[in-house]
């Protein structure tokens, strides 16, 4: 049973990355019927069902913190390429080896900064649920960013897809909390 928050995140990232690598390298017939992201969800649900994770206070905290920060960051990055988002993007995950470490980490840092800024601004929007306000602010930043030179940073959709895979893994891993 995994009780370390760092190991919990590592296992989720490992599952998501491994399944995506299998999807892109081997083109198994399974993926003709079930998208890779759904397989990630199923595997992490099974981990949850078989109680691989011990949802102690530390893991619950890292789960909530990661989920809260990942969604606005992911939305922002997807919207940077607002005009050119196509379904094909949702199958490629980001890799520093493909786009260069500086650009990769810049995109992650920028997305997390926008996530933080969205949450701060959302705190002032009292007539909306904080989560909805955060998402709306992140959408606004993403659309505005798509009209700037940030749009020319190739790789933002791949990094956002990586975040999406992680988010789906987080959701799948928490299914046991619903019962």
Taking the C-alpha atoms of 46, 49, 54 and 57 in order, what is their torsion angle to the nearest 10 degrees? 100
Reduce the DSSP state of residue 53 to 3 states and report it: strand
Residue 89 has pLDDT above 80, yes or no: no
pLDDT, mean of residues 45-55: 93
Confidence of residue 19 (pLDDT cuts 50, 70, 90): very high
Residue 90 has pLDDT above 80, yes or no: no
Helices of type H across the chain: 5-26, 30-33, 36-49, 57-80, 96-99, 101-122, 130-145, 156-173
How far apart CA 31 and CA 126 sit, in angstroms, is 44
Least confident residue range of 34-38, 43-47, 78-82, 113-117: 78-82
Q: What is the DSSP string of 127-149?
A: TS-HHHHHHHHHHHHHHHHTTSG
Q: Tell me which of 23 and 4 has the higher pLDDT.
A: 4
Confidence of residue 60 (pLDDT cuts 50, 70, 90): very high
Residue 45 has pLDDT above 70, yes or no: yes
Describe the crossing of helices 130-145 and 101-122 by its angle, rounded to 10 degrees: 130
What pLDDT shows up at residue 130?
A: 93
For 95-149, the pLDDT digits (tens) are 666 778 888 899 999 999 999 999 999 999 999 999 999 999 999 999 999 999 8
pLDDT, mean of residues 50-75: 94
What pLDDT shows up at residue 31?
A: 82
What pLDDT shows up at residue 32?
A: 84
Please tell me what DSSP assigns to residue 49: H
Reported pTM? 0.86
Domain residue limits, the chain: 5-178
Quote the percentage of the chain above a pLDDT of 90. Answer: 63
The single residue listed with the structure tokens 């606004």 is 140
Confidence of residue 63 (pLDDT cuts 50, 70, 90): very high
């Amino acid at each position: 049973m995994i009780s370390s928050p760092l190991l919990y995140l590592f296992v989720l990232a490992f599952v998501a990355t491994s399944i995506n690598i299998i999807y892109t390298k081997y083109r198994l017939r399974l993926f003709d019927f079930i998208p890779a992201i759904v397989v990630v969800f199923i595997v992490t649900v099974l981990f949850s069902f078989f109680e691989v994770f011990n949802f102690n206070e530390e893991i619950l905290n890292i789960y909530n913190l990661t989920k809260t920060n990942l969604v606005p960051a992911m939305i922002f990055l997807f919207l940077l390429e607002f005009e050119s988002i196509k379904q094909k993007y949702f199958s490629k995950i980001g890799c520093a080896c493909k786009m260069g470490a500086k650009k990769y980490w810049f995109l992650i840092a920028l997305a997390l900064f926008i996530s933080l800024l969205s949450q701060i601004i959302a705190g002032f929007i009292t007539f909306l649920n904080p989560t909805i306000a955060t998402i709306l602010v992140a959408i606004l930043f993403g659309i505005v960013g798509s009209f700037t030179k940030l749009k020319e940073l190739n790789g933002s959709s791949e990094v956002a897809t990586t975040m999406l895979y992680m988010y789906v893994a987080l959701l799948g891993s928490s299914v046991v909390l619903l019962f």
